[in-house]
Structure 1
Amino acid sequence: MSRNYNHAALVLLLLLASSNFILSVFAKSRSPITDSEIKQKKTECYADIDSGLWGGQCKSSSIAKENCALKCLSPACYELIYESDPLEEGEKDFIRSQEFKYCMHKLSLGESLEGVRGTFNY
């Protein structure tokens, strides 16, 4: 039991440290994140999910994996765009996808996320 607790605490500590690092990089960079940087970060998130770092629920289906990858990529943007209505099997949501990228763009510039949701509704 103690060993599992220590492992879980270590994983939590690593997740917190990496999210704080990412936030500090975003806050200090002042240059917009590029599509290739987003793609690279998402690839790293998929690797973390595949290794079990995000738990079994993130490996239960392809859509669960995608929702976890989006949350890994940007917890703040995931919360704003997807948390209240996660992606469902077979769903392609171009508008929310664009809002998510726009959210990451604004975060990378250290800008407010106010008004991001609903920006691309036509």
Structure 2
Amino acid sequence: MLRMASSLALLLNLGLYDSCFSEKTGITFTFKEYQYKDSPKNEMTFREFETACEQSSACNQISGLPRTRCVRECVSPSCYREIYSSDPLEEGEIDVRLNSFKGCFVQRSGRTRN
């Protein structure tokens, strides 16, 4: 077990893990990317929608990953469909799509702020 952890750490340090993994599985993960400017105003706008969705009757009674999915779909159904529907977020997955989702939300809501 220790040897496997050391090997994984070495691959990560060398930047080879992703290429080794994708070569073995043959899977390339792609999604539509949107630019997101991480500003206090954009975060505040996104957080307002997120909070309202967390408190909605559709999402407030569930927890964990299903709640996260519910809230994201509530915040922007069209962005959720475009970014997550073909490959839903999975338990333990690091959500590398969140900033694209936020960028899509800001763009479609017309609330682009600096």
TM-score by length of structure 2 reads: 0.55
For 1:42-72, what per-residue CA distance to the aligned partner results, in whole angstroms no more than 9, with x for missing partners?
0111111xxxx2279x71x400000000000
Residues matched between the structures, number: 71
1:104: how far off? 1.0
Aligned-partner Cα distance in 2 for 1:77–1:55: 18
**Structure 1 residue 47 corresponds to structure 2 residue 52:** no
Q: Quick check: which one's helix share is greater?
A: 1
For residues 15-94 of structure 1, the aligned pairs below 5 Å read: 34-48=42-56, 53-54=57-58, 59=62, 61-94=63-96
Q: 1:37 to 1:87 in 2, by over 3 A?
A: same
Distance 1:92 1:46 in 2: 20
- Deviation at 1:40? 1.4
Aligned-pair identity (%): 35
TM-score, normalised to structure 1's length? 0.51
Structure ID, larger Rg:
2
Q: Equivalents in 1 of 2:66, 2:52: separation in Å?
A: 16
Offset at residue 81 of structure 1 (A)? 0.3
Kindly tell me: are residues 55 and 37 of structure 1, through their superposed partners in 2, closer, same or farther at Cα, counting changes over 3 Å?
closer
For structure 1, the 5+ residue unaligned runs are 1-32, 111-122
- Stretch deviating more after TM superposition (81-90 or 62-71): 81-90
Runs of 5+ unmatched residues, structure 2: 1-40
